[in-house]
Amino acid sequence: MARRKKTEKNNSSQPNIKGVIKGAGDVVNQEIVSTIKENYMPYAMSVILSRAIPEIDGFKPSHRKLLYTMYKMGLLGPTRTKSANIVGQTMKLNPHGDSAIYDTMVRLSRGYEALLHPYVDSKGNFGKFYSRDMAWAASRYTEAKLDSICNELFKDIDKDTVDFVDNYDNTLKEPTLLPATFPSVLVNANTGIAVGMASSICSFNLRELCETTIALIKDKNHDIMTTLPAPDFIGGGQIIYDVNTLKNIYQTGRGSFKVRGTYNYDSSANCIDVLSIPPTTTSEAIIEKIIDLVKGGKIKEISDVRDETGIDGLKITIDLKRNIDPDFLMQKLYKMTPLEDSFACNFNVLIAGVPRVLGVRELLEEWIAFRVECVRRRTAFDLEKKQSKLHLLKGLEKILLDIDKAIKIVRETAEETEVVPNLMIGFGIDEIQAEYVAEIKLRHLNREYILKRTKEIEELEKEISELEAILSSKTKVKNIIVSELKDVSKKYGKDRVSTLINPEDIKEVEIVPEITDYPVNLYFTKEGYFKKITPLSLRMSGEQKLKEGDFICQSYESTNTADLLFFTNKCQVYKAKAADFPDTKASVLGEFVAAKLGMDEEELPVSMIVTKDYEGFMLFGFENGKLAKVPLNVYATKTNRKKLTGAYSDKSPLADIMFISEDCDIVMTSTSGRMLLLHSGSIPLKTTRSTQGVAAMRLKKGHILMKIEKYEEGRFVNPNRYRSKTLPTLGALPSGEEAENLQLKLE
């Protein structure tokens, strides 16, 4: 048994050194940075370059290998074959399990309904893109072939239009890209997650895309949105056409736009039929969400919901109760379920092996450059073939001018190996031409053959001249691309499936959950605890349970629908409903408000206000002796905001907060013991929440305002003693009798 070596103790404070078991019992110190470079980075690069990110032809390697295998199997014709056969053949190029390859084929198939223009013509159960639970049949039961649009993917692939490389075991060749004659990278949706990056490309209408590409070839400054207004999805749906949002996506390649499902209302059956859903969700997810909303009491208009998807396609049926407005209900469902969802775009594409996030214009320009190279390579290939053939025919032409001489040379040559050299010498032709002539059959040495070959020379010279003109003119190359795009648009173009709706045409509905209203008693303690207790429970309860040293500082009799405003020590106010808190008993501590409402660190509530109509005023007393009077309605918001910053001024520390329903007498008390009695009507009303207020009580050095409270009749023997005609004022110290009464109250 090997003895484990002791490692030297690493005294370095660097955290990137770790003991790693190297081999049989050996332990070595190795830097994590170098481990990542050696092991993780190659994996990350492999995922990015060879798995998750599509290239300019619109395909990931797994897609390309599968389609090319099917092309080599002759499946571009009318005949289908078993999917299992295709999967098995694809393993020669893609060394993954049969399940992964079959899953790839399913997602490219017509039956799966994920692509606007599917590449695989399928037969059998291939599942559905919009269903999470509808599983596809095993590969041994289904059949497939290439769809007709694949003619455009493999057109002239055997004419050196793209590079070929060895497969994983160097036994076969496979293309690095497919020479697609249309911008397939934007025609079909494509998503992928790599290491540290991802790609999400939405689909566009083929006809609109071809038209846009043609316009861009003719004019670099073409406004893309005039011919390509928005994406298009096979499932249809409605795209909320926010021009600025889509323009940003077109320019940057990043962003998101909203898609919502479509529906019909069947008045005879009193039900809504949802016929399309966003491409980011499934029918099961929508149904489950609706059921949860119904069970939670948030939606009460629905009596039943079920999936009626069948041979005619997607269909979710929602049965309604009587006298329900279907359009209003759907607006609620759009807001509360995935029936309206966002499609996040991230146009991340590999360009020359480098991942780049490009806008639509840049992507089309890259595709045009790629396609220009394909056409040039094809033209150069055709030119070379025709030049080679012309070269042979030129040699044949010289022979045919004097056939008898050629026959004589062949007959008089003693050895077979000397036939070609003698023909070269006799007619002044090269070896290739001589080999071609020597292989001519005797039956071809007739007048008809000679005339045909001579005429073919003229045609070849004309074709070669045209091909050379194409190679020397970028305009002619682009004209060829334009012509091909027009053919593709005519053959395979379809009308737009997804409709566009203006955001201004959408009726916004405010979803207010139905709250049961009943009388409640509300309590707020000095330590920030809250209790909501029903009158019945309160009558049956004993003493209020509180933390040691805590006491109830505010109590209200209200109802379950009341609004609660919790002012904090951080100049913020948090809004809640009484219904947000559970009914409790006097024998429990209650809810800790700071935790319940998610307040900031070290933030605590200092006062609670209960209201239904936001009538009345807030009085804020600051330690510097100022009073601020703010109408309560400035804290009422149209949206359901839970937190408002700048609830009151932060120029001086807050001494006390008080709510008054109407103007009344209040008492201000300082730490020096002086008290000031004034009417709140003398404090000017300010509609700005952060107002600093007005100076009301003048304070002696070292003293601050301690509290403000409502004046109770009979508290002072002589109230006028504490009043002042002008503000600010010092206030008055309590008289002997009042001081004794105050002392008794404190005790």
Q: How many domains does the chain have?
A: 4
pLDDT of residue 647: 92
Contact 434, 423 (CB under 8 A): yes
Mean residue pLDDT of the chain comes to: 89
Name the residue range of residue 4's domain. 1-38
pLDDT of residue 97: 85
pLDDT at residue 47 greater than cutoff 70? yes
pLDDT at residue 357 greater than cutoff 50? yes
pLDDT at residue 15 greater than cutoff 80? no
- A 10 A CB-CB count for 448 gives 8
Of 492, 512, 529, the position where a domain reaches its end is 492
Burial of 107 (0-12, 13-18, 19+ CB in 10 A): buried
Same domain, yes or no: 326 and 372: no
Tell me, yes or no, whether 653 lies in a domain.
no
What would the pLDDT profile of 179-222 be if each residue is shown by its tens digit?
A: 999 999 999 999 888 888 889 999 999 999 999 999 999 999 99
pLDDT of residue 176: 95
What would the pLDDT profile of 218-243 be if each residue is shown by its tens digit?
A: 999 999 999 999 999 999 999 999 99
Cα 234 to its chain centre, rounded Å, is 18
Tell me, yes or no, whether 149 lies in a domain.
yes
Of residues 498 and 417, more confidently modeled: 498
Same domain, yes or no: 22 and 102: no
pLDDT of residue 369: 96
Average pLDDT of span 442-455: 76
Non-local (6+) Cβ contacts of 90 within 8 A are: 65, 66, 69, 101
Report the amino acid identity of residue 313.
Answer: G
Tell me, yes or no, whether 67 lies in a domain.
yes
Same domain, yes or no: 9 and 111: no
pLDDT at residue 24 greater than cutoff 70? no
Same domain, yes or no: 461 and 386: yes
Same domain, yes or no: 93 and 117: yes
Spatial CA neighbour of 89 closest among 75, 76, 79: 75
pLDDT of residue 745: 52
pLDDT at residue 454 greater than cutoff 80? no
Cα separation, 176 vs 166, in Å, equals: 10
Whole-number percent of the chain with pLDDT over 70: 94
Average pLDDT of span 486-499: 95
The model's confidence at residue 511, banded by pLDDT at 50, 70 and 90, is low
Same domain, yes or no: 120 and 70: yes
- A 10 A CB-CB count for 392 gives 17
pLDDT at residue 10 greater than cutoff 60? no
Alpha helices for 26-150 (secondary structure H): 32-35, 41-47, 61-72, 83-90, 98-107
pLDDT at residue 456 greater than cutoff 50? yes
Same domain, yes or no: 389 and 477: yes
Q: Domain holding 291: CATH number?
A: 3.30.1360.40
In this structure, the strands spanning 354-357 and 348-351 are antiparallel
pLDDT at residue 343 greater than cutoff 60? yes
Distances (CA, A) of 601 to 82, 569, 570: 63, 11, 10
Tell me, yes or no, whether 704 lies in a domain.
no
pLDDT at residue 450 greater than cutoff 80? no
pTM above 0.85, yes or no: no
Average pLDDT of span 98-102: 93
Same domain, yes or no: 166 and 60: yes
Contact 293, 337 (CB under 8 A): yes
What would the pLDDT profile of 620-635 be if each residue is shown by its tens digit?
A: 999 999 999 999 999 9
pLDDT of residue 506: 83
pLDDT of residue 513: 62
Average pLDDT of span 175-181: 96
pLDDT of residue 737: 66
Pick the catalytic residue from 43, 141, 168, 518: 141
The model's confidence at residue 408, banded by pLDDT at 50, 70 and 90, is confident
Tell me, yes or no, whether 746 lies in a domain.
no
The model's confidence at residue 540, banded by pLDDT at 50, 70 and 90, is confident
Of 492, 513, 541, the position where a domain reaches its end is 492
Burial of 125 (0-12, 13-18, 19+ CB in 10 A): middle
Cα 10 to its chain centre, rounded Å, is 46
Average pLDDT of span 90-102: 91
Same domain, yes or no: 428 and 379: yes
The model's confidence at residue 319, banded by pLDDT at 50, 70 and 90, is very high
Same domain, yes or no: 285 and 400: no
Of 118, 142, 174, the position where a domain reaches its end is 174
Q: Domain holding 458: CATH number?
A: 1.10.268.10
Catalytic, 141? Answer: yes
Residue 83 tokens, joined:
């999917």
Q: Domain holding 92: CATH number?
A: 3.90.199.10
Residue 521 tokens, joined:
């008693």
Cα separation, 213 vs 597, in Å, equals: 54
Tell me, yes or no, whether 47 lies in a domain.
no
Average pLDDT of span 366-381: 96
Question: Following DSSP, what letter does each residue of 287-338 receive, concatenated?
Answer: HHHHHHHHHTTS--SEEEEEE--BTTB--EEEEE-TT--HHHHHHHHHHHST
Report the amino acid identity of residue 87.
Answer: V
Same domain, yes or no: 18 and 91: no
Cα 421 to its chain centre, rounded Å, is 71
pLDDT at residue 449 greater than cutoff 80? no
Tell me, yes or no, whether 635 lies in a domain.
no
pLDDT of residue 639: 66
The model's confidence at residue 5, banded by pLDDT at 50, 70 and 90, is very low
Cα separation, 297 vs 69, in Å, equals: 54
- A 10 A CB-CB count for 564 gives 25
Q: Which helix (H) or strand (E) holds 687?
A: none
Tell me, yes or no, whether 157 lies in a domain.
yes
DSSP state, residue 732:
B
End-to-end CA distance of the chain: 84
Same domain, yes or no: 82 and 34: no
The model's confidence at residue 143, banded by pLDDT at 50, 70 and 90, is very high
What would the pLDDT profile of 376-404 be if each residue is shown by its tens digit?
A: 999 999 999 999 999 988 888 888 778 88
